[in-house]
Structure 1
Amino acid sequence: MPCALRQAVFRAGPALLITAVFCCGLLLAGPVAAGDRVLRVLAWPGYADADVVRGFEARYQAKVEVTMVDSDEALWAQMHAKDTPPFDVLAANTAEIQRYTRADLLAPLDLASLPNTKRQLPRFQALSSIEGLTSAGQVYGIPFTYSSMGLIYDRKQIPVAPRSMLELWNPRYRGKVLDFNSAQHNFSFTALALGYAHPFQLDAAQMRVITQKLIALRRNLLTYYTLPEEATAFFIEHKVALMFGNYGTQQVELLRRAGADVGYVIPDEGVLAWLDCWAMTRSASDRTLALAWIDYMLEPEVSGLLPQRQGLANTLTAPVDNNANARIMWIGPVEDIQRREELWTRIVSGDRSERF
């Protein structure tokens, strides 16, 4: 997230939501004439930097308002907020795109209006092969960026790379572990670490085991984090040893720029990975402008900023892959979102294990 960001923070249910106002011009680009077009964007940090937004505004003579979120839960809450104008485009992972499509919140995309999709790598042009992006023959999401969600570790405290996500529970790291504050991902990565074949579709018995495991993880935790910048500050200030890297290589890049000597590893049991996509909401007031935004984000000069600034991969160029043989699972829809969130709220609040 650019250093010129002013953050207004408030609560959206159990999740933290951040509305971003860039003093260098993102939302303060000057008065808007009565006939100006306005595009409202819901995105993650690093996806809509101020200079990128200014370029779009100048080209299309439009005003862009960006709201940033720090979790899937916050994204969902903001899409259902009653006291704010509706959004036109959003960035979400494939599982969430499928969820939003089923909830009739998204509009199908006209690929003819998105010529830059032809610049994407073949695997990202094969939209029907990516679960969650198509429904009834129509496209609802366009891949934008992705990362695995591995282990980040301090090389000074852990000179040999850990081999399993279960190292988060190693008592030698008590008080030196960071975890991402998310119900869906915590249950899923723990299931994968325990060897469950279907970490997104857990039965009642598996949920009980994983719940107790996540309660036990609290003994090792320094705290939970939401944003990558927050995790970086905690990691350095409190000499963290291990962290579940929800933002993956983006966090590694931030930590190294901050001077931390960290390593990144995909555990032997495999790793979850997210593929974030752009989508247009059903409530988009100017669909031509919304499609122009999605196509603009796929221009080489814009997508090329992801690896340069964020340490993330884009869908136009193949990254150098040191984990070609690793087991990587794109996150998928879970069996019961509400149940996971209810349990997670109790876990985070410190509820005793015998009460579950």
Structure 2
Amino acid sequence: MRNTASRRSAIFAALAIVSTTALLTACGTASGPGGDDGGLPTELGDFEGSVSILAWPGYVEDGSNDPAVDWVSGFEDETGCMVDAQAYGTSDEAVNLVRSGGYDVVAASGDATLRLIAAGDVAAVNTDLIPSYDGVFDFLKEQEWNSVDGQSYGVPHGYGANLLLYNTEVVNPAPTSWDVVFDGASAYSGKITAYDSPIYIADAAVYLMAHQPELGIENPYALDEEQFQAAVDLLKAQREHVGEYWSDYLKEIQAFQTGDSVAGTTWQVIQNVLEGEGATTAVVLPEEGATGWSDTWMITSDAENPNCAYAWLDWIASPEVNAQATAYFGEAPSSEAACDFRDDCEAYHAGDEEYASQIWYWTTPIADCVDGRTDVECVDYAAWTEAWSEIKG
């Protein structure tokens, strides 16, 4: 699971629009998808017999961890594409592994996707060759973290919000704002927790959007120097009240069970576990909104098995399989049809566009401001990483 995802980012180049012709190197070959003059493929060729997949733990289960959890065997039986899967622990690790070569498919979060696209590490995809794509929620398609100029670079998988978790017996009244972990954190000093990642700077930016509108923040991943410094200052002030930064979800569960933490950012799956064990906790999507994630299945630009790669993207987005995979991981599925195979979609607000509209999905900060501004340069993720080290001290 996302239990070790610290998401420290390496230095990356500013986003450059890479042509789809250059990206899909397998296109037009005898074994690869057929295309038009080397552009996007228009039809698939024969399956190559194998596919190499890089993904978060829990995304590619074949029954070896739990005999009851297996959505790989059916794919292998149906396509003849034998799956070779490797798990990674952080987005940085994923980016580095993709660049080392040898992978056909990668499941990437929004703090990695633009880096992969910018460097030409992943290929634009023809979604017409992925029937399951039609059923994916529209609000997950062609977003700034999975497309460029309207061209899709993959298939959405699951999504979720970074929620506010609190101890109902300690935090009173029940919070409706992130204020409890920022400006009001002193009331619970030493027992505030925060996600351990440079991308958490965006959480501070979301709070500032509502509480310091004069800063003019329109997108928490598009911060100019003044806006960025304001977010950093807020997190430095928060630091003295943070008892622990977490990246391992099991450790956050334990901290709330013992009372070492009483308020902080979390995922719905963590609250589900705590609730199941009788903990006095609750979660809320605060009035300011929240950051979150929407992961994308992408095909590498040097995929040796592009036909099997396309088959996997269609398979993992199909309703029953997507339901299995996202339920196991603890996130909302990518389609309404997937909810026919789950009984907890309501808890994850699956398909609720109003709820989803309050989520700022992880997007790699780059110098070319993703909010559309061209008169300023935004702070890129390399600087976010450096600042995060300063914040934590």
- TM-score category of the 2 structures, normalised to the smaller one: 0.7 to 0.9
1:24-173 correspondence runs (5 A): 37-50=49-62, 51-80=70-99, 82=100, 85-94=101-110, 96-124=112-140, 127-128=141-142, 130-135=143-148, 138-169=151-182, 170-173=185-188
Unpaired runs of at least 5, structure 1: 16-35, 351-356
Using the TM superposition, give the Cα deviation of residue 14 of structure 1 relative to its aligned residue in structure 2, in angstroms.
7.3
Match of 2:361 in 1: 330
Instruction: For 1:313, give the aligned amino acid.
Output: A
Aligned-partner Cα distance in 2 for 1:47–1:305: 10
Using the TM superposition, give the Cα deviation of residue 302 of structure 1 relative to its aligned residue in structure 2, in angstroms.
1.2
TM-score, structure 1 as length reference? 0.77
Aligned-partner Cα distance in 1 for 2:147–2:318: 23
Aligned-partner Cα distance in 2 for 1:289–1:251: 34
Match of 1:20 in 2: none
Aligned-partner Cα distance in 2 for 1:260–1:241: 11
Task: Give the alignment partner of residue 192 of structure 2, picking from 174, 177, 193.
Answer: 177
Aligned-partner Cα distance in 1 for 2:304–2:312: 13
Task: Give the alignment partner of residue 204 of structure 1, picking from 182, 207, 225.
Answer: 225
Aligned-partner Cα distance in 1 for 2:106–2:151: 18
Q: Contact 1:71–1:182 (CA<8 Å) still a contact in 2?
A: no
Flag the 1:307–1:332 CA change in 2: closer, same or farther, 3 A.
closer
Q: Contact 2:158–2:331 (CA<8 Å) still a contact in 1?
A: yes
SS of the counterpart of 1:297? helix
Using the TM superposition, give the Cα deviation of residue 278 of structure 1 relative to its aligned residue in structure 2, in angstroms.
0.8
RMSD: 3.1
Larger strand percent = 1
Flag the 1:221–1:286 CA change in 2: closer, same or farther, 3 A.
same
Instruction: Kindly indicate whether residue 214 of structure 2 is the aligned counterpart of residue 214 of structure 1.
Output: no
Aligned residues: 315
Flag the 1:79–1:122 CA change in 2: closer, same or farther, 3 A.
closer
Using the TM superposition, give the Cα deviation of residue 307 of structure 1 relative to its aligned residue in structure 2, in angstroms.
5.6
Using the TM superposition, give the Cα deviation of residue 266 of structure 1 relative to its aligned residue in structure 2, in angstroms.
1.3
Q: Contact 1:150–1:264 (CA<8 Å) still a contact in 2?
A: yes
Using the TM superposition, give the Cα deviation of residue 289 of structure 1 relative to its aligned residue in structure 2, in angstroms.
1.1
Using the TM superposition, give the Cα deviation of residue 279 of structure 1 relative to its aligned residue in structure 2, in angstroms.
0.7
Flag the 1:179–1:165 CA change in 2: closer, same or farther, 3 A.
same
TM-score, structure 2 as length reference? 0.70
Aligned-partner Cα distance in 1 for 2:229–2:136: 42
Aligned-partner Cα distance in 2 for 1:122–1:86: 32
Aligned-partner Cα distance in 2 for 1:95–1:304: 24
Using the TM superposition, give the Cα deviation of residue 330 of structure 1 relative to its aligned residue in structure 2, in angstroms.
3.0
1:203-282 correspondence runs (5 A): 203-245=224-266, 248-282=267-301
Percent identity between the aligned chains? 24
Unpaired runs of at least 5, structure 2: 11-47, 63-69, 210-216, 340-344, 366-377
Q: Contact 1:143–1:315 (CA<8 Å) still a contact in 2?
A: yes
Deviates more, 1:272-281 or 1:56-65: 56-65
Aligned-partner Cα distance in 2 for 1:157–1:110: 52
Aligned-partner Cα distance in 2 for 1:10–1:315: 21
Flag the 1:68–1:256 CA change in 2: closer, same or farther, 3 A.
farther
